[in-house]
Amino acid sequence: MKVIRPIASTDYQALHSFAVESGIGFTSLPVNEALLRSKIERSEHAFDKQVDQPGNEGYLFVMEDIETGEVVGTSGIEATVGLDDAFYHYHLGKVVHASRELKVHNTVDILTLCNDYTGVSEICTLFLRESARKGSNGRLLSKFRFLFMMEHQTRFAETVIAEMRGVSDDNGQSPFWQWLEEHFFSMDFPTADYLTGIGDKVFIAELMPKYPIYVSLLSKAAQAVIGKVHEKTQPALKLLQQEGFSCQGYVDIFDAGPTVEANLQHIRTAQASRKMQVVIDDKKAEEAPLYYVINTHIKQFRAKTTALAVDKEQQVAYLSQKCAQALLVENGDSIRFAPTRLDCSS
């Protein structure tokens, strides 16, 4: 039985193994003990903190098989980005070069360095061990965050973004970065990615070109990957698009992977979610449809996929005893839930 809970200091070894397995380009999980332990400590502090508006909190969760004790995945939320450290993107826009006299009208794509997403919330650090990539585990590890954010809205911004991993090869070489490296950085992609992951972003401001870049001046290989995702990231992008996320022209400054965004209230799982009191009843829950379910706690937060029978007239939800125990809820406690199939009734 897989359950999601807040990360703890005892999960360090699992988090380190995820950092190794995720590979180059997974910026939020660098292979660095001090940083990973700091992420865990920061998350523990966020779950302990009383919050009435979004700040510099970072919430990190793990998926645990509670029958074996194995931690098989992780997932995170940044309450805000860019408040302490600059949060950079390229925005893909257009300029027009026109001369009425010469009857010339050319539209040119440009990339402009910006900090437009400062202050928004970010879903991040999603990694699921390959052995656990079955059933609804991957969807749960992504979608429960929308329930958590909907339940605790004062902790998060209205706009939610997700940075998608861009195109790179097995050696971590990015066609987009190769062009930047050649002309501005003299630093390979794995090094730049690692420095960003450990929070050393000064070099970006110092070395990144200050003026808009004409896309037509980039190499053909670099142009071809702007706004494209790594093949391993395609399922995650598709899932977010189904939730209502879309790209508004913002791409990563290193690998040109797209950043997608949505308003929390318009995210399909959040929008479809309901909050009801629990009634523990094994018989009524036995043949019920599957839902993504969370309790309403912070420090003792739990989430899982489980059968749930909904009584709309009584405004109660029926859970099995086993699932109620896994979710740390009792009769009369509140839960928030959303259907695993968004076209079914909630």
Residues recognised as catalytic: 230
- Neighbouring CB atoms inside 10 A of 52's CB total 7
Distance CA(147)–CA(44), nearest Å, equals 20
Distance CA(275)–CA(260), nearest Å, equals 27
Instruction: Choose among 330, 328, 284, 326: nearest CA to 307.
Output: 284
Q: Report the DSSP beta bridge partners of residue 311.
A: 316
Can you say how many angstroms the Cα of residue 138 is from the centroid of all Cα atoms in its chain?
12
Let me know the angle formed at the C-alpha of 328 by 326 and 334, rounded to the nearest 5 degrees. 120
Contact yes or no for 123/164 (Cβ under 8 A): no
Query: Virtual CA dihedral for 6, 71, 149, 295, nearest 10 degrees?
Result: -70
Contact yes or no for 270/337 (Cβ under 8 A): no
The token pair that represents 252 in the structure block: 């990563």
What CA–CA distances, in Å, run from 181 to 94, 124, 208, 317?
A: 24, 26, 10, 56
Instruction: Choose among 274, 264, 270: nearest CA to 337.
Output: 274
